[in-house]
Amino acid sequence: MQRYELAVIINPDITEENIPSVLDKMTQLISQLGGATIKVDRWGRRKLAYPIKHYREGEYVVTQLELESNKAGELKASLRLSDEFLRHLLVRLNA
């Protein structure tokens, strides 16, 4: 299992009350791929450096996780297809 750090920007149209359910969906996706979520750190709503899909702000979340390296592509593809996430960045950590 490799350790990864996943940074996502959640769509600002999602209300504050619905963000926990979006985060649950993300952790369930990681679990379905055979991974484990170690830590979820919400940074809150921040202004974007440039517009993404006509949005100027988004909810930032950084997650540390463990996942088999061959499943990382599937995780990125699933996040790309979801309308709830504007952007994501998955980085492998050296352990």
Q: Tell how far CA 69 is from the center of its chain.
A: 17
- The CATH number assigned to the domain holding 56 equals 3.30.70.60
- Please give the Cα distance from 48 to 35 (Å, whole number): 29
Q: How many domains does the chain have?
A: 1
Greater confidence (3 vs 94) lies with: 3
Q: Give the pLDDT band (50/70/90) at residue 92.
A: very high
Look up the pTM and report it.
0.92
∠ CA 45-50-53, nearest 5°, is 80
Instruction: State residue 95's pLDDT score.
Output: 59
Tokens 């996430």 locate to: 85
For the residues 3-30, what does the mean pLDDT come to?
Answer: 96
Q: For residue 61, what are the domain limits?
A: 2-92
Element (H, E) at 77: helix 72-81
Number of residues that this document lists for the chain: 95
Percent of the chain with pLDDT over 70: 99
Please provide the DSSP assignment of 17-74 as one string: GGHHHHHHHHHHHHHHTT-EEEEEEEEEEEEEEEEETTEEEEEEEEEEEEE-GGGHHH
